[in-house]
Structure 1
Amino acid sequence: MQIISQLDMLRTTVSDLRKGGETIAIVPTMGALHDGHLTLVRAAKARADHVIATIFVNPAQFGPNEDLDAYPRQLAEDAAMLAAEGTAALWAPSVEAMYPDGFASSIHVAHIGDGLCGADRPGHFDAVATVVCKLFNQVRPDLAFFGEKDWQQLAVIRQMARDLDLTLPLADTIIGVPTVREADGLAMSSRNRYLTAKGRAAAVTLPNAMKAAIAKIEAGHPVKEALSALKAALISAGFQSVDYASLADAKSLDPLDALTGRPARLLVAARIGGTRLIDNMAAGKAQSERAQSGRA
């Protein structure tokens, strides 16, 4: 597996991989890889001839007082894991390579990117959309794979691809892969390593409380009451705060007061021990529909 840090070398590698008409899939990450990331690589390998993974801790998407400096960086270990999965190349640019001197452009995806995490982390999704657009233009993949754990991010990236006429990849070739969970149900995340033993034990309350809320909503209980009980369960378990808990249309992310028969998601962000955890789950009879399985 090639480890590439310069754009000219990346473009040469991409050209070489495409000889003979082979297809390329991209798996963008910020590193600190776990089995959730490797599941994306495996899904990409099943759909494309070659996989290019990326590792870039994007400083633009971290707000003031967030964990940019503390975010785990382990390039050698990550590269070894990717090589073991048969990844063709790892694109690991420096900040200077991604944002050269004088860089002044930004992409804003309105509406979908404005609420939920976008409201709590101003500018976050502008930075995500901008860097992912750059990655798409740098690699020009046929397919792109993202985890569904950050459902809003996935929605933002698909909207950006549609709006900017990114033909490689098209919005419908941006593939969402279902969230990979620990044995107790907690969604895998690089930030889980920040949790103390006590915090990790309490963190499982998040998926459990979400399942309970979904069961109540599907049984006909008022959404507001189900969400209030979810928040109360988290605070009782030791979470310091709940940034949001929202039942939303799976595509538009507009909040819902009741299930409508269209695909819906329950999305939650909450903080425990200084660590911000996010999760989402399908809700309603439409949850098994294709739109919930990761296609646009």
Structure 2
Amino acid sequence: MVRRTNQYFLFVFLFFMLASSLVGLLLTKFVPLPAVWNNIIMQFLVFIPMLVIYVKTEKTSVKECFSIKPLSLKNALICLGIAYCSLPFVSLIVVLTSKIQPNLVEETMNQLKDSSFFSLLLLIAVQPAIFEEMLFRGAALHGYRSLGTKKTILMSALMFAMLHMNLQQALYAFLLGAIFAFLVQRTGSIFASMLPHFLINALNCFTIFEQSPQEGIVEEMTFMKEFLSVGLQCLIFLPFLILLVYLFLRQNPAPAEALPADADAPKEKIFTASFWIIVAIFILLGVLPNLYWK
């Protein structure tokens, strides 16, 4: 199961890089639409085949594979609160890595800020909240489930991190991916991660879209000032985050671990050849080309 899932995610990495480049090129050449809409179409054409292939190869139901189950209002609010209170820690990672990694997300979103708010929200918030969650908190959690709760969460978060293909995003994507996977595993509902994912990305959309040109030209803060400012935010939000996690754990007690079908069977290897190829792709194509030193 683990070996097959690693192979599937190697396919995901290769397909995502090759198909997105090819589809993007064809759309740019033959479809006379703004760049943002070409990207929206591209996400549909790239993600949907990957998700369909997993369901077909695993011969499982869509509902089971992607944890499609109703989420209570209380859980939804708690999950949204946890995501919001995690944002300062994401900002802290961005600040700490700013010396070695440009903020590619900010650069990309600034390039799209002239698009309509609806198209930007669809591209940045709606599609990732659906497609990425179905892939990483759906297929990944389903495929790695034989590893046990903790390892399954870590593998899901690791794949989510590496597919972002740059160091800065990978670090905070790993943090958020682990949180999202934990929320889904405890609630049994993919909506426990879709809603927080949408909230985080939508807030980024609002920030970029509402920023006027004059606001975009501000005096650059020194590293230490920015670090202290974000660090203070982390300290302020930490008690609220702890409280929300406590409420979430009370609302969703841990289920009993299912015993393996064959307790004497050899344990599956996590670090297979496919896994190391994914790591190599991430380092060679995602990390090294984007590093810089000021």
- TM-score, structure 2 as length reference: 0.22
Higher helix proportion: 2
Comparing both chains, which one has the higher relative contact order based on Cα–Cα distances under 8 Å and sequence gaps of 6 or more?
2
- TM-score, structure 1 as length reference: 0.22
